[in-house]
Amino acid sequence: MQSLFRSTLLTWATSSLLATQVHAHARPRGCGPTLERDVVVVGGGSGGTYAAVGIAAQGKSVAVIEIENRLGGNVATYTDPGTNQTTDYGVILYSNTSTARNYFAHLGVPIGPYEGYFPNGSTKYLDYTNGNELPYPVVGNVTAAQEIYLQQMQRYGDLFSAPGYFLPDPVPEDLLLPWGEWLEKYNATAMAYQVFYEQAGNALELPTLYIMKYFSVVTFTTGRLYTVNRGNQIIYNTAYDKLGGAANVLLESHIQRVTRSEQGVELAVKRPCGVQTVRAKKLVIAIRPRHADLAPWLDLRPDEARLTRQFAHINTWTCILNGTGLPLDTGYQLVDPTREAGIPPLPETLGISQSGIADVEARAFWWSTAADITPAKAASLLLRTAYFVQGAQNVSSPAGQRPTVNGLLAHAPYLLHVSSDAVAAGFYRELNGLQGRHSTFWTGSAWESESSEAIWRFTEQIMLPALMASLG
């Protein structure tokens, strides 16, 4: 299909300029006069930023409201204070599709193939109970298991290569099985550990639908891209500038109230400068649509409330680990050798990467739990694992150093999902039916999967065409 970001540069430049001029004429009284835009996007993470850049590229004015002090959502870029080199410990890589390539080209962000944390680095697998080194975590033929998995996905037409949850009715029973049962049924358990490691959390218990949406045909059959500076925040800083900076991107902004009608939307937004009114013809909601997060400010209609109440989630924590003295070129993953799939029980560390910066120890460290825990508890559990791996490998910290957790981030709510029963009862048919109602459009991982590139395709192919058509 024609890319969103081809042949639209002129209209983008014009709309960006106009928006900036509107801002320049605003009198500096508090936050200035009411902001009027064609579209207001709530949430400047992966989906919201892509949507805003796409809306502007099609010549419409747009404002983004983001609660944090930067765009980017789950992107977490660490800058080494000594060398100024960067490495990522949140979002790292992107499927190498034309959607991703065109987006990066439009922003002017240089990209290259993903080559791992440490070129030619290695990974050790450790028994999570005693630290003993193990061969690859699973018995069986991983490649054969993946082939079975790919063949099975292809039974469902383009469901796992096209964006969105557009499910057949009735939903095939295999897709409703907990993935652990599906693996046993198809004798494919050998691939479970790989998916658990990359996907985080309770992979075996999730309905197979969610695994296949994330580990889709596209994920399995395309290469992976990474920004050449190995710091993905550059994507979002560049997008911020392209969108007109502070004129159109409202950072550190808390929505107090949204009122919607078929004629448009009005928002009251608490910003560092005061409370500002924002009016737009259309609203795009690009935050994770949990009822508990929307209800305080959104005039939820009964069907929206009923659907968003059904989402469950998991919690993922990430940080940078320094000061262990472990070899820079070696990463560590914990394994339960008593289970066929090799997956240790949660809560547990998913992995400690090789160092992401040459010559300096800066490892990404992932950890996942179903429970809501405090940052202090997460930090202490992460450090416990760091000491465990140090001890198991008989390695000491360099003189004057000790294992240290830096930049701890909670990525929650993560991986929004509903029960198999809800999927079977038509949850996604109803969810998709919300698109465009009450002047509101939706994008983000809840509408696709936890993959930035797939969310961009969903936004490009499903959400934006409907939004643009509604704007006339």
Ligand X SMILES: Cc1cc2nc3c(=O)[nH]c(=O)nc-3n(C[C@H](O)[C@H](O)[C@H](O)COP(=O)(O)OP(=O)(O)OC[C@H]3O[C@@H](n4cnc5c(N)ncnc54)[C@H](O)[C@@H]3O)c2cc1C
CA–CA dist 429, 23 (Å, integer): 40
Beta carbon nearer to ligand X, 410 or 424: 410
Q: How far is the CB of 450 from ligand X (least distance, A)?
A: 4
Q: Cα-flanking dihedrals φ and ψ of residue 350, to 5°?
A: -85, -35
Nearer to ligand X, 190 or 217 (CB): 217
Task: Kindly tell me which of 383 and 409 has the beta carbon lying closer to ligand X.
Answer: 409
User: Which amino acid does the sequence have at 134?
Assistant: L
Task: Give the nearest distance from C-beta 440 to ligand X in angstroms.
Answer: 14
Identify which of residues 85 and 97 has a Cβ nearer to ligand X in the complex.
Answer: 97
Do 298 and 54 contact (CB within 8 A), yes or no? no
Beta bridge partners, 266, equal: 259, 279
DSSP assignment string, 70-132 = SS-TT--EEE-TTT--EEESS---EE--HHHHHHHHHHT--EEE---SSTT-EEEEEETTT--
Cis previous bond, 375, omega within 30: no
CB of 423 to ligand X, least distance (A): 19
Name which of 322 and 445 has its Cβ closer to ligand X. 445
Q: Point out which residues bind ligand X (CB under 6 A).
A: 42-48, 65-68, 73-74, 90-94, 255, 286-288, 316, 318, 366, 411, 414, 444-445, 450-453, 455
Q: How far is the CB of 367 from ligand X (least distance, A)?
A: 9
Kindly state the smallest distance separating residue 54's Cβ from ligand X, in Å.
13
Q: How far apart are CA 395 and CA 387, in angstroms?
A: 10
Q: How far is the CB of 132 from ligand X (least distance, A)?
A: 28
Task: End-to-end CA distance of the chain: give it in Å, rounded.
Answer: 21
Nearest to 461 by CA among 40, 98, 70: 98
Q: Give whole-number Cα distances, 466 to 38, 441, 469, in Å.
A: 14, 8, 5
Give the residue with the Cβ less far from ligand X, 16 or 49: 49
Q: Identify which of residues 57 and 71 has a Cβ nearer to ligand X in the complex.
A: 71
DSSP string over 363-384? EEEEEEESS---HHHHHHHHHH
Largest CA distance in the chain: 68
Which residue minimizes CB distance to ligand X? 45
CA 68 to chain centre: 15
CA dist 459 and 162 (Å) reads: 12
Q: Specify the residue, 92 or 190, whose C-beta has the smaller distance to ligand X.
A: 92
63 vs 65, beta carbon nearer ligand X: 65
Q: How far is the CB of 170 from ligand X (least distance, A)?
A: 28
One-letter identity of residue 45: G
Closest CB 186 distance from ligand X, rounded Å: 26
* Shortest Cβ 7–ligand X spacing (Å): 26
